[in-house]
Amino acid sequence: MPLTLPQFQRSIEDTYGAKDRQRGVAGTFMWFMEEVGELSAALRSGTPDDRAAEFADVLAWLATLANVVGVDLEKAVQAKYGGGCPGCRRTPCICDRAEKP
Amino acid sequence: MPLTLPQFQRSIEDTYGAKDRQRGVAGTFMWFMEEVGELSAALRSGTPDDRAAEFADVLAWLATLANVVGVDLEKAVQAKYGGGCPGCRRTPCICDRAEKP
């Protein structure tokens, strides 16, 4: 069975929740940024395995940050992206290329 | 049914894949970083709805980046976090607090 977003977020909560809350939002954001930096390096010069591992780390720290502030990642993406592009409401997106996203 | 990680990554591919590949890795990383900055602002002073929307954006751009470089996010997190903490292999994690993660 493919992993659902709630299952993933809960597994990160079970593994790191207690530590995460002790560290707080700002400290957790610093760890998240460290992983973002490592992703940047892996995108520039990493092997495919390096890249996959760094994507996993960024996603795990994003889930941890969401846990610390009580955001449900699945509800958040369903609310914003569940109906296609939030700009043009189409799939595929037909927004101008200079616009977000 | 809760959204699975592969479903989410595919929906981002369907919506933005063509644009994403034209933009390339470096340009897509810049958009991703812009969203990370907005998440930082929302964590500092946003409403709960602002925070949820910024988490959704960061996750969407992370999925887009993964699509551009051909990384399967679910396989990546299962490989790294599927057996508990990659440091101590326990749930909850018992790594020293100064260590990653």
ipTM of the complex, rounded to two decimals:
0.95
Flag if B65 and A57 touch (Cβ within 8 Å): no
Alpha-carbon gap, residue A98 to A100, rounded angstroms: 7
Q: Report d(CA A25, CA A67) in Å as an integer.
A: 10
- Quickly state the pLDDT bin for A79 (edges 50, 70, 90): very high
Kindly indicate the confidence band of residue B101, based on its pLDDT and cuts at 50, 70 and 90.
low
pLDDT band at A96 (very low <50, low <70, confident <90, very high): confident
CB B71 within 8 A of CB A52: yes
Q: Which of B64, B65, B81 to mutate to test the interface with A (most CBs of A within 10 A)?
A: B81
pLDDT for the residue numbered A13: 96
Angular region, B71: left φ>0, alpha ψ -120 to 50, beta rest: beta
Chain B residues with beta carbon closer than 8 angstroms to that of A39: 65
**Which residue, among B39, B78, B59, B71, has the nearest Cα to A7 in the 3D structure?**
B78
pTM for this one?
0.95
Across the interface, whether the CB atoms of B55 and A66 are under 8 A apart is answered yes
Task: State the DSSP H helix or E strand holding residue A18, giving kind and residue range, or none if neither.
Answer: helix A5-45
Q: Is the pLDDT of residue B14 over 90?
A: yes
DSSP string, B55-90: HHHHHHHHHHHHHHHT--HHHHHHHHHTTS-TTT--
How far away is chain B from the Cα of A82, in angstroms, using its nearest Cα? 9
Per-residue model confidence (pLDDT) at position B59: 98
Burial of B79 (0-12, 13-18, 19+ CB in 10 A): middle
Q: Is it the case that residue A101 has pLDDT exceeding 70?
A: no
Bridge-partner residues for B93, per DSSP?
A: none
CA-based nearest distance A49→chain B, Å: 9
Helix then strand then coil, % of chain A, to nearest 5: 70, 0, 30
Q: Per-residue pLDDT averaged across A22-50, rounded? A: 96
Residue B98 confidence (pLDDT): 73
The region that residue A24 occupies, defined by phi over 0 for left and psi between -120 and 50 for alpha, beta otherwise, is left
Half-sphere exposure (Cβ direction) of B22: Cα atoms closer than 13 Å: 6
* Cβ atoms of B39 and B58 closer than 8 Å: yes
